[in-house]
Amino acid sequence: MAITLEQVAKTSIDTLIDEAALQARVRELGEQLSRDYGGQDLLLVCILRGGVMFLTDLMRQLSIPHNIDFMAVASYEEGVRQSDGMVRITMDLLTDIQGRNVLLVEDIVDTGHTLSRVLDLLGTRLPASLRVCCLLDKHERREAKVPIDYIGFQIPDKFVFGYGLDMDQYWRNLPYIGVARSDPASGP
Ligand code: 5GP
């Protein structure tokens, strides 16, 4: 069932990664990517919707020319916070990626099923190179083996939101990564 606005307003949030730490790491990633792709073609592919704030901040830290495009995938239904390994492409790229250097910009890699499916699909389109830049890596939850070339932060196995990531479609606007504070009254 959809969450009510009243429930949203009552959410207590703890900060997992604050705004300054996020911005500092995104700057480092931008500098590294600018070095690695210097003098080369670069197409950033953002997976909607969670990756969008990371993409726009990362773009501002790139000192090299690049293009962007978007795709959307659905890994699970609203209100269910567990990927089931079934991933659907719900919006495809507009760009022909054959012969392009593609960098996938992802918000978070959890089980890895979503990324694995997207990499398989894009690989069939014969890009010159296909790499992955993800902001958050929940390494201990991995089920599918996926190569990640650039990682912002390794995080523990907690459900996180903010900075583009949602909790029940809310809180994407937070400038930091948060976790819901568990209510001490509700026990361990
Ligand atoms: P995976 O297929 O790797 O299990 O899941 C990837 C997708 O699940 C992410 O792109 C994201 O949409 C969602 N996801 C996984 N963990 C979290 C989390 O802690 N918070 C949020 N908001 N989404 C998550």
Element (H, E) at 103: strand 101-109
Ligand 1 centre distance from Cα of residue 80 (Å): 11
Second CATH level (architecture) for the domain 19-157: 3-Layer(aba) Sandwich (3.40)
Atom of ligand 1 nearest to the CA of 50: 12
C-alpha torsion angle, residues 165, 171, 174, 178 (rounded to 10): -70
**Residue among 45, 185, 52 at smallest CA distance from 122:** 45
Distance of CA 107 from the midpoint of ligand 1 (Å) = 8
Any idea which residues carry the catalytic annotation? 110
Let me know if 79 is exposed, middle or buried by CB neighbors in 10 A (0-12, 13-18, 19+): exposed
**Atom nearest to 159 CA in ligand 1:** 19
Q: What was the pLDDT predicted at 76?
A: 55
Say which residues have a Cβ less than 8 Å from residue 109's Cβ, sequence separation at least 6: 115, 132, 134, 136, 137, 138, 142, 146, 148
Q: What is the pLDDT of residue 146?
A: 95
Q: What single DSSP character describes residue 185?
A: G
CA-proximal residue: ligand 1, atom 4 (nearest): 111
Cα(120) to ligand 1 centroid in Å equals 18
Question: What was the pLDDT predicted at 17?
Answer: 98
Question: Would you kindly state where each structural domain of the chain is located, as residue ranges?
Answer: 19-157
Separation CA 34–CA 14 (nearest Å): 33
Closest approach atom of ligand 1 to CA 110: 3
Residue ranges lining ligand 1, Cβ < 6 Å: 50, 75, 83, 107-115, 159-161, 165-166
Chunked mean pLDDT (size 10), the chain, 188 residues? 81 95 98 98 96 98 98 68 66 97 97 92 96 97 95 97 96 96 56
* Per-residue pLDDT at 83: 53
